[in-house]
């Protein structure tokens, strides 16, 4: 699922940033603090639909805070040091009184340390600016929790924002993958032409589907993709003739994903099946081999490959006497 992949990417980057800010702070290297203020401005604008700007620009020059949204009357202090003293110091500044008189609320976001211990306690809010320590003190955990609940369209915007901010060094996260190569070959096939398919033992396949309590997705998944068995079989056989181990490694990799799912006693077999598809897709998308293939085609090819692995007895239990070979 794109949602999980996007969230994992965002979470990883924010965790790395947090750790680097902490480490650099011990060396008195504060350049990341400045950059994180801009990053979190953009993150909060997406999360809460704010229009935050640096407080030292424009007509509202609020030295006590870092970010300001003049339309929604919100000011935000961005800090790496999560402490009661930091919050009190900000709340006690003279500029806060003017903001309070204008109807602003204030929030604090700590980009390095967690701030759970700071919530729900009393602060020296001497100017009575709108501030609730239970909900107006944020950290990377509260931000990530909010991100995880975003609708997919805004999750995509957030992912693209983080990706543009951090970027990727070419090739550092790309892996060589036989699974990805099979997807690459399969994507070049004319799947409208299934004349090369092998006549399968449909009765045996249906028995295995029922035996594993997968009947719910028989028509939508197994019937839809098992017809491509012959095309994939030809690709596998070509590799075998060449003396390549691609076929063996691909099927064993899929089996390894299934083995991990077997340990999950709480999920149904239908959930396990789709989890295998998801794991295969995650693995494939890390490879450089699929850069030019549309994601919809990747998903289709992976479903063909996983259904094929099911037919070949590589995943899920086989009823007595079941064989994938043709009748």
Per-residue model confidence as pLDDT tens digits over 59-94: 444 567 899 999 999 999 999 989 999 999 999 999
Rounding to the nearest 10 degrees, give the CA dihedral for residues 139, 144, 149, 150.
100
Q: How far apart are CA 133 and CA 155, in angstroms?
A: 27
Distances (CA, A) of 284 to 69, 169, 179: 42, 19, 6
Banded model confidence at residue 166, pLDDT cuts 50, 70, 90: confident
Q: How far apart are CA 173 and CA 167, in angstroms?
A: 12
Q: How far apart are the first and last CA of the chain?
A: 37
Domains of the chain, by residue range, sit at: 2-166, 178-311
- Provide mean pLDDT across the span 137-149: 95
- Provide mean pLDDT across the span 189-199: 70
Q: In this predicted structure, what is the pLDDT of residue 193?
A: 73
How many CB atoms lie under 10 A from the CB of residue 158?
21
* DSSP state, residue 317: P
CB-based contact 316:208 (threshold 8 Å): yes
pLDDT at 197 over 60: no
How many CB atoms lie under 10 A from the CB of residue 263?
7
* Residues with Cβ within 8 Å of residue 39, at least 6 apart in sequence: 17, 165
Q: How far apart are CA 105 and CA 131, in angstroms?
A: 6
CB-based contact 7:155 (threshold 8 Å): yes
Sign of CA dihedral 57, 61, 65, 70: negative
Q: In this predicted structure, what is the pLDDT of residue 85?
A: 95
Q: In this predicted structure, what is the pLDDT of residue 169?
A: 45
CB-based contact 111:82 (threshold 8 Å): no
């Amino acid at each position: 699922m794109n949602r999980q992949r996007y969230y994992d990417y965002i979470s990883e980057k924010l965790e790395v940033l947090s750790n680097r800010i902490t480490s650099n702070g011990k060396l008195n290297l504060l350049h990341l603090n400045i950059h994180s203020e801009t990053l979190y401005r953009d993150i909060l604008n997406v999360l809460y639909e704010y229009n935050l700007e640096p407080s030292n620009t424009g007509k509202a020059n609020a030295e006590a805070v870092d970010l300001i949204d003049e339309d929604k009357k919100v000011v935000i202090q961005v800090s790496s040091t999560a402490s009661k003293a930091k919050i009190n110091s900000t709340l006690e500044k003279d500029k806060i009184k003017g903001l309070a008189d204008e109807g602003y609320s204030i929030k604090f976001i700590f980009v390095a340390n967690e701030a759970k211990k700071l919530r729900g306690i009393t602060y020296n809010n001497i100017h009575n600016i709108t501030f609730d320590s239970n909900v107006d003190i944020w950290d990377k955990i509260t931000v990530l929790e909010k991100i995880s609940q975003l609708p997919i369209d805004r999750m995509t915007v957030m992912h693209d924002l983080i990706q543009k901010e951090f970027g990727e060094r070419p090739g550092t996260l790309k892996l060589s993958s036989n699974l990805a190569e099979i997807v690459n070959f399969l994507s070049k096939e004319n799947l409208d032409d299934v004349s090369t398919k092998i006549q399968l033992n449909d009765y045996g396949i249906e028995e295995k589907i029922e035996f594993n309590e997968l009947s719910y997705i028989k028509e939508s998944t197994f019937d839809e993709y098992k017809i491509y068995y012959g095309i994939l079989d030809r690709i596998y056989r070509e590799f075998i003739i060449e003396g390549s181990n691609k076929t063996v490694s691909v099927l064993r990799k899929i089996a390894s994903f299934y083995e991990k799912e077997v340990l999950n006693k709480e999920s149904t077999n239908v959930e396990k099946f789709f989890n295998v598809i998801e794991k295969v897709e995650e693995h494939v998308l890390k490879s450089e081999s699929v850069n030019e293939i549309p994601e919809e085609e990747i998903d289709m090819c992976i479903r063909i490959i996983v259904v094929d692995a099911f037919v070949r007895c590589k995943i899920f239990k086989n009823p007595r006497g079941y064989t994938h070979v043709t009748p």
